[in-house]
Amino acid sequence: MDERTLNELKPGEAAHVVTLDPRHPLRRRLLELGFVRGARVSVVRRAPLGDPVEVRVNGTDLALRAADLRGIRVRA
């Protein structure tokens, strides 16, 4: 399987969360928002300059900074 960071997904691509960086400054909040192991997450779209990124997790759309997505490992 192809494992990479959530930031590397293109709009329209989906994957499942593998792990969250334990040192991520927003780790607790991201877990509360549903970025738990096995959760399906997809990239909806990116802002014209690439930041922020709209992602969908558990049916909820969120806008997150690209830097925050680098701490989320996913598998297609």
Predicted structure pTM score: 0.88
pLDDT of residue 32: 94
Which residues, 6 or more positions from 75, have their beta carbon under 8 angstroms from its beta carbon? 1, 2, 3, 15, 16, 18
Nearest to 31 by CA among 44, 17, 43, 45: 17
* Mean pLDDT within 31-49: 95
Q: What is the mean pLDDT of the chain?
A: 93
Q: What percent of the chain has pLDDT over 70?
A: 99
- Taking 90 as the threshold, does the pLDDT of residue 1 lie above it? no
pLDDT of residue 76: 86
